[in-house]
Chains A and B, each alone.
Chain A
Amino acid sequence: MTTTKFPLAADIDEGVPSALDRLHQWVVTVDHKRLGIMYIVMALGFLVVGGIEATLIRVQLAVPDAHFISPNAFNTLFTMHGTTMVFLMGMPILAGFANYLIPLQIGARDLAFPRLNSFAFWITCFGGLLLYSSYITAPALFGGAAAPDFGWFGYAPLTEPTYSRGNAADYWVLGLIIVGFGSIAGAVNVATTILTMRTEGMTLGRMPLFTWITLVVQGMILIVVSPLTATLILLLLDRSLGAHFFDTQAGGSAVLWRHFFWWFGHPEVYVLMLPGFGFVSEIIPVFSRKVIFGYPAMVAASVGIGFISLGVWAHHMFAVGMSPAANTFFAISTGLVSVPTGIKIFNWLGTMWGGRIRMKTPMLFCMGFLVQFLCAGITGVMLAVVPFTWQLTETYFVVAHFHFVLIGGLIFTVFAAIYYWFPKITGRMLSERLGKWHFWLFLIGFNLTFIPQHFAGMLGMPRRVYTFLPERGLELWNLVSSIGVPFQLAGVLCLVWNMIRSYRQGAVAGNDPWDAWTLEWATSSPPAEYNFAKLPVVHSRRPLWDLKHPEDPDWQYE
């Protein structure tokens, strides 16, 4: 790199920046990579917080009639656990990966609106802190509960002033509105970047699948988070100005809240899950040494999932007493989602078929994902069968189902993504040995915890109960479920230790440690602030394959 010195400028010797300088650089940065890292680190922090909340929940439920924590404390724990994992862990960590990877994958130098990006991160962070400050400040203001205690989907009228006295619910509403602004700003930014800043030759049909899926997800965020924000504002009006949208005592509607919330809430599941599919679609081909099978079908399936998912929200409401016709409609739409999802699973299997599979840690996590997501998908179809769901809904079966989706599915892919892209982000490899410990401990712990919850649900255990009675056949399942927790904690500790240790003394990665094919591996690890010294020109979906195999480039076959 050459530096040009102007004679008028003073010759400043910057030396090694102090810790304060470095902190300052991180706080004021508008670099998409730094903001991406900050999103990911913040989300991992909230993952630990949410994990501690879950651990306390499982301790309380290990034995019947336990008095480890009070009912109120328990109710705040599951509320904060759900809210944290969806809004402060799931959304931000995916925003972080999108932030970091999208410009690199499409050959751009930054996102379209770098300062909006910084705004989105900080407002998300502050929204999370505002929500958590309710633990400290809400009781002082009105003597109400110390934190929200009405569940993460805040069913009316529990959130109304009559039933949620004090300010805890206001913290929840305002925190989520602010986090929602962050999500919307991020979605506008990333979508604009993908649509307008692709490098020469990077047509829509040549974008990596992670980029494609991210584009779909940003569209979904705009369609579903905006109405959620509006809904939360209606609730704020109820609470602060005496409106009656959801105030059933004054003629408001509890069912309306459910429709509004799940209009957001179900597509949200795919907002979280689709990027996981994106990670897997990047990782499985590289470690199978084969091009992704059926790229157009994968894109179509992603768009299809996004589209259908906007019409399935009322499957959370099969017990509300909707008409048989409405129940049937939502059963069919929910069942249909499984078709494009199945296409994805089969295409991944088609990619592995005939490959040379290398079982590195990222691939291990992808395989864990495949099996567990298969289970999640199957129980999902069960839940589309309305009469079966009349029995299963609001029980621990549902808890088990969506943890299979969000942990067995999403979190396993996030771990895979961490192992896969850590070398790009830091320039160092994560330890394979610790990675395998992490995988097996977490796999065992996860299945110990969540398989038994299916059984508890089928034996009549509702969710969100702070304790359960003995002699109802639930003791064994709950005990085993709690025994799984230390295994999961040990697994996560392996990851944390691995990241800290490898960051300092891991093997140097080089630009392309996995022999991969997408553009982010063409630049240095970690990439310079400007990403690419010279913007690349691409001719196919796998620009690095073309470089490595000039005799047999991809564009001949696309």
Chain B
Amino acid sequence: MVSLAVLAAMIQATDTVSSIFAPVSTPAIKERDLSMLVLVLSAIVFVVVGGLIAYNLVRFRAPAGDQSTEPPQVYGSAQVEAAWTVVPLVIIVVLMLATARVIHEVQAAPQPPNAVEATIVGRQWWWEIRYPKLGVVTANELHVPVSDSTVRRPTWLTLESADVSHSFWIPRLAGKTDVIPNRTNHTWIEPFVTGTYLGQCAEYCGTQHAHMLLRVVVESPEQFARWVEQQRQAPAGDSAADSGRRIFLGTACISCHTVAGTVANGRYGPDLTHLMARATIGAGVAPNTKDKLRAWVKNPDDLKLGALMPAMQLDDEQLDQLVHYLLTLR
């Protein structure tokens, strides 16, 4: 059963499937390697004990209508008891030595001087992502550089929560670390393959826990540098979108959202400065297209029931103008 599970899980690893048995980053690889040892030992125990159960049932089953006298009564045996106490104990000791070693390797790893630093803030129900040293703020999409066999470029993550407990988990990059209010946690990733890796909040955090997705974009150092450069610039204005811009700045949007270079500096919702550089909206609930964006602004509940963003009661014309403006935020 167990080995079948592993097999199935490994085969299924593709871009959108986040199998823990298809790791591409250091902590997840170490975790996978250890889990293989565990699975092999488990399979042996299952076969041995399961075999004993089956043998017992076949060998000692009374024939139908058996009325013979009682079988010999055996009250126990100290030697046998000792054997089946010591053997499992030895297995556990071996497992725990291996476990302690990997715990130490992951949790006590020193931060290399060239590591990228990012802070991830869990919120109901989206991820705020800040690169304090790079001056970049974004949401729901973490960009990191790829490592290779010669140069390590890991990303050191600081995890904080603005409201309730969440959990940061990208199965193919690293196991979970909880994101807890009033507490600062740390974890790190070191991916070796470029691509987009999906994860989602793993600690129940309220109504829309199911739609709190996180994308990690692993790119070459050059691409990453370009992305950082682009994120640092205010979006180029487009005078054709001025009417939508006025609506945005004139409604409560600015209480929660920031757009660099404008008076909008709210921090409760995602930073929209480079909204259109992101692939999804609503923390992965829908692709970031014009139609979906319009539907979202019209009434977030239609896409994500319970989302904390209110519908602003705009009429169709205002909606069109506002979405037009949002589309310029690249």
User: A375 to B43, alpha carbons, bound, how many Å?
Assistant: 10
Write the nearest CB–CB distance from A69 to chain B, whole angstroms: 11
Q: Are B181 and A254 in contact (CB under 8 A)?
A: yes
Q: Are A254 and B182 in contact (CB under 8 A)?
A: yes
| B275-313 to A contact mask, C-beta < 8 Å, 1/0 | 000000000100000000000000000000110000000
For B19, what are the chain A residues with a Cβ–Cβ distance below 8 Å?
458-460, 473
Q: Are A355 and B71 in contact (CB under 8 A)?
A: yes
Judged by a CB distance under 8 angstroms, whether B316 is at the interface is no
User: A291 to B205, alpha carbons, bound, how many Å?
Assistant: 51
For B81, what are the chain A residues with a Cβ–Cβ distance below 8 Å?
294, 297, 343, 347
Judged by a CB distance under 8 angstroms, whether A205 is at the interface is no
Question: Which of A224-232, A463-471, A506-514 is the interface stretch?
Answer: A463-471
Q: Are B103 and A327 in contact (CB under 8 A)?
A: yes
A interface residues, how many (CB within 8 angstroms): 98
For B103, what are the chain A residues with a Cβ–Cβ distance below 8 Å?
324, 327-328, 331, 386-387
Q: Are A331 and B180 in contact (CB under 8 A)?
A: no
**Given the contacts A339-B89, A374-B49, A455-B9, A462 and B75 also touching, CB distance less than 8 Å:** no
For A386, what are the chain B residues with a Cβ–Cβ distance below 8 Å?
99, 102-103
Q: Are B175 and A319 in contact (CB under 8 A)?
A: yes
Q: Are B49 and A385 in contact (CB under 8 A)?
A: no
| A327-342 to B contact mask, C-beta < 8 Å, 1/0 | 1100110011011001
For A359, what are the chain B residues with a Cβ–Cβ distance below 8 Å?
61
Judged by a CB distance under 8 angstroms, whether A433 is at the interface is no
For A356, what are the chain B residues with a Cβ–Cβ distance below 8 Å?
60-62, 66, 68, 70-71
Q: Are B46 and A378 in contact (CB under 8 A)?
A: yes
Q: Are A375 and B46 in contact (CB under 8 A)?
A: yes
Question: Which of A19-27, A271-279, A389-397, A411-419 is the interface stretch?
Answer: A389-397
User: A324 to B100, alpha carbons, bound, how many Å?
Assistant: 8
Q: Are B68 and A367 in contact (CB under 8 A)?
A: no
| B108-123 to A contact mask, C-beta < 8 Å, 1/0 | 1000000000000000
Write the nearest CB–CB distance from B121 to chain A, whole angstroms: 14
Judged by a CB distance under 8 angstroms, whether B171 is at the interface is yes
Judged by a CB distance under 8 angstroms, whether B236 is at the interface is no
Question: Which of B29-37, B137-145, B247-255 is the interface stretch?
Answer: B29-37
For B100, what are the chain A residues with a Cβ–Cβ distance below 8 Å?
324, 328, 331
Contact of B60 among A293, A354, A389 (CB under 8 A): A354
For A533, what are the chain B residues with a Cβ–Cβ distance below 8 Å?
none
Contact of B204 among A151, A342, A381 (CB under 8 A): A151
Judged by a CB distance under 8 angstroms, whether B17 is at the interface is yes
Interface residues of B in 193-209 (CB under 8 A from A): 198-209
Q: Is the interface of B mostly helix, strand, loop or mixed?
A: mixed
**Given the contacts A288-B60, A331-B100, A388 and B38 also touching, CB distance less than 8 Å:** yes
User: A252 to B164, alpha carbons, bound, how many Å?
Assistant: 12
Q: Are A460 and B171 in contact (CB under 8 A)?
A: yes
For B306, what are the chain A residues with a Cβ–Cβ distance below 8 Å?
71-72
Q: Are A387 and B210 in contact (CB under 8 A)?
A: no
Query: Which of B17, B46, B205, B210 counts the most chain A CB atoms within 10 A?
Result: B210
User: A371 to B202, alpha carbons, bound, how many Å?
Assistant: 30
Chain B: CB-nearest residue to A301:
B85
Interface residues of B in 70-91 (CB under 8 A from A): 70-77, 80-81, 84-85, 88-89
Contact of A336 among B70, B92, B99, B201 (CB under 8 A): B92
Q: Are B74 and A157 in contact (CB under 8 A)?
A: no
**Given the contacts A293-B74, A356-B66, A374 and B31 also touching, CB distance less than 8 Å:** no
For B98, what are the chain A residues with a Cβ–Cβ distance below 8 Å?
385
Question: Which of B51-59, B218-226, B238-246 is the interface stretch?
Answer: B51-59
| A348-375 to B contact mask, C-beta < 8 Å, 1/0 | 0110111111110000000100110011
Q: Are B95 and A381 in contact (CB under 8 A)?
A: yes
Judged by a CB distance under 8 angstroms, whether B186 is at the interface is yes
Write the nearest CB–CB distance from B307 to chain A, whole angstroms: 10
Judged by a CB distance under 8 angstroms, whether B1 is at the interface is yes
Q: Are B182 and A252 in contact (CB under 8 A)?
A: yes
**Given the contacts A328-B99, A394-B203, A558-B75, A460 and B17 also touching, CB distance less than 8 Å:** yes
Chain A: CB-nearest residue to B86:
A339
| B1-14 to A contact mask, C-beta < 8 Å, 1/0 | 11001101100101
For A459, what are the chain B residues with a Cβ–Cβ distance below 8 Å?
9, 12, 17-20, 171
For B176, what are the chain A residues with a Cβ–Cβ distance below 8 Å?
319, 390-391, 393-394
Judged by a CB distance under 8 angstroms, whether B185 is at the interface is yes
Contact of A349 among B12, B53, B183 (CB under 8 A): B53
Q: Are A158 and B35 in contact (CB under 8 A)?
A: no
User: A327 to B106, alpha carbons, bound, how many Å?
Assistant: 12
For B8, what are the chain A residues with a Cβ–Cβ distance below 8 Å?
455
Contact of B164 among A158, A332, A557 (CB under 8 A): A158
| A234-269 to B contact mask, C-beta < 8 Å, 1/0 | 000000000000001101111100000000000000
Judged by a CB distance under 8 angstroms, whether B233 is at the interface is no
User: A171 to B300, alpha carbons, bound, how many Å?
Assistant: 31
User: A158 to B176, alpha carbons, bound, how many Å?
Assistant: 20
Contact of B38 among A71, A382, A390, A460 (CB under 8 A): A382
Contact of A473 among B17, B88, B203 (CB under 8 A): B17
Contact of B177 among A321, A346, A350 (CB under 8 A): A321
Write the nearest CB–CB distance from A443 to chain B, whole angstroms: 14
Query: Which of A252, A336, A390, A549 counts the most chain B CB atoms within 10 A?
Result: A390
Q: Are B12 and A387 in contact (CB under 8 A)?
A: no
User: A357 to B62, alpha carbons, bound, how many Å?
Assistant: 5
Judged by a CB distance under 8 angstroms, whether B147 is at the interface is no
For B192, what are the chain A residues with a Cβ–Cβ distance below 8 Å?
none
Chain B: CB-nearest residue to A392:
B20
| A271-299 to B contact mask, C-beta < 8 Å, 1/0 | 00000000000000000111101111100
Judged by a CB distance under 8 angstroms, whether A70 is at the interface is yes
Contact of B305 among A71, A149, A392 (CB under 8 A): A71
Judged by a CB distance under 8 angstroms, whether A150 is at the interface is yes
Q: Are B85 and A391 in contact (CB under 8 A)?
A: no
Q: Are B77 and A294 in contact (CB under 8 A)?
A: yes
For B202, what are the chain A residues with a Cβ–Cβ distance below 8 Å?
319, 393-395, 462
Judged by a CB distance under 8 angstroms, whether B189 is at the interface is no
Write the nearest CB–CB distance from B95 to chain A, whole angstroms: 6
Q: Are A385 and B99 in contact (CB under 8 A)?
A: yes
Write the nearest CB–CB distance from B39 to chain A, whole angstroms: 8
Q: Are B182 and A248 in contact (CB under 8 A)?
A: yes
Chain B: CB-nearest residue to A336:
B92
Q: Are A320 and B88 in contact (CB under 8 A)?
A: no
For B133, what are the chain A residues with a Cβ–Cβ distance below 8 Å?
none
Q: Are A471 and B183 in contact (CB under 8 A)?
A: no
User: A393 to B85, alpha carbons, bound, how many Å?
Assistant: 28
Q: Are B2 and A391 in contact (CB under 8 A)?
A: no
Judged by a CB distance under 8 angstroms, whether B167 is at the interface is yes
User: A386 to B27, alpha carbons, bound, how many Å?
Assistant: 12
User: Which 4 A-B pairs have CB atoms at the shortest separation, nearest pair first?
Assistant: A390-B175, A460-B18, A465-B210, A473-B17
User: What are 11 A-B residue pairs whose CB atoms fall within 8 Å in the complex?
Assistant: A158-B165, A158-B204, A296-B76, A342-B84, A343-B84, A347-B81, A358-B62, A388-B34, A462-B200, A464-B204, A469-B284
Given contacts A331-B99, A387-B34, A460-B19, 20 further A-B contacts (CB under 8 A): A163-B163, A294-B77, A319-B176, A327-B103, A335-B92, A343-B84, A353-B60, A386-B99, A387-B102, A387-B175, A388-B34, A390-B176, A391-B35, A393-B176, A394-B202, A460-B199, A464-B204, A472-B17, A473-B17, A557-B73
